[in-house]
Amino acid sequence: MTMDPQEQGRWLGVGHSSDNDARVAGTRAAEQALAGDDPALLIVFASVRYDLPALLAAISAQAGDVPLVGCSTAGEIAAAGPDDAGVVVTALGGPGFSIETTVARGAKQHLRQVGAEAATCAAAVASRPHRVLMLLTDGLAGDQSEIVRGAYGVVGAGVPLVGGCAGDALRMEATHQFYGTEVMTDAVVGAAIGSDGPLGIGVRHGWRPVGEPMLVTQSSDNRVHCIDDRPALDVYLERLDAPPDVRDDPASFTRFAQTHPLGLAGRSGEAQVRFVSDAGFEDRSLGCIAEVPQGRLAWLMEGDDASVLAATDAACEDALAPLRGQRPIGLIAFDCIARRGVLGEQGVRTEVERVAHNGQGAPVAGFYTYGEIARTRGVSGFHNQTLVVLAVG
């Protein structure tokens, strides 16, 4: 009989605060998260509204020299529900964990190189039966799939990748990454986790293609210039019959686009989803969080409450499968901000409740992202508009 992880002293604690004062919020969230002895890692997801250095200083004051990684968000997730302007602290601790962390800077200029550098911590982590590399990236640095390719080039197929792209509350100006008490932008933070207990990863999106396929006739990296030999932005707005304010206002466009992604024909038969992050109103292009290859067939995608919540259950089921019925000590969710746009405020509360229910009441933490990382097989591991769940056994 497998012993329950809590009986072995392994634990995952989650703390949350929405206090307006960064120091108070950091202190309260850290106190709640540090629920057991021998903490091994702190993971911090926080709103950009805070004085972030002050927030991290307060958290570290409670945790001492425990390694800390994290990032800014487009919203935070805790068992109590979603938040827009708070901080969530997750602590891993007890016997059976090994942790190594690293940070790599200069992502915009050297995406693949920085991904590889962030992955070097995986080689240093003490050997245990189960391992995962968590990556927290600058969601505005460029083609995020290049970061994943760089990490994969270092760790290979033997170490699963999980994580998400930092957000800035849909301002699309600058995201931040946390390493200890340092606040950065244009960086990738890595945390290699070795565990005696199983670790499971699930990823699902819940979107479906609609309408006739389109051909990407001109693109460069994550910028789409022409679709069907016409300006990409014009085709996108016409196909969706976009309202007037979306056609010339960047903020309105971003809010509209988060629920209208592009789908690309994939080798597996399932469409690869791309988050449309911005509009080039002058050159009539579309910006995406990841590469959109020229010559690829594309569709507009749609989703609804039912399809998105079904994907939530499926992602949890996949993440929990390696635990073989054992209750997890906690779940960490990386959820695209676009899914929140589909579900609405009540829907996202239902989603968080369903994640907790699937985890048999285990603690839940996470954040709303600008893109998600989940690689368990194959080379590809970057996703848009998905829910990624890490189950810790």
Name the pLDDT band for 173 (thresholds 50, 70, 90). Answer: very high
Instruction: Using the CB atoms, write b or e for 69-93: b if 16+ within 10 Å.
Output: bbbbbbbbbbbebbbebbbbbbbbb
What pLDDT is attached to residue 3?
A: 33
What pLDDT is attached to residue 137?
A: 98
Looking up tokens 């929140």 gives 340
Task: Write out pLDDT tens, residues 188-222.
Answer: 999 999 999 999 999 998 888 989 999 999 999 88
What pLDDT is attached to residue 244?
A: 96
Task: Write out pLDDT tens, residues 326-345.
Answer: 999 999 999 998 888 888 88
Question: Out of 42-46, 247-251, 271-275, 358-362, which region has the weakest mean confidence (pLDDT)?
Answer: 271-275
Cβ(335)–Cβ(367) below 8 Å: yes
Q: What is the mean pLDDT of residues 343-371?
A: 94
What pLDDT is attached to residue 179?
A: 98
Q: What is the Cα–Cα distance from 341 to 232, expressed in whole angstroms? A: 23
Looking up tokens 């609804």 gives 304
Give pTM, 2 decimals: 0.88
Cβ(370)–Cβ(165) below 8 Å: yes
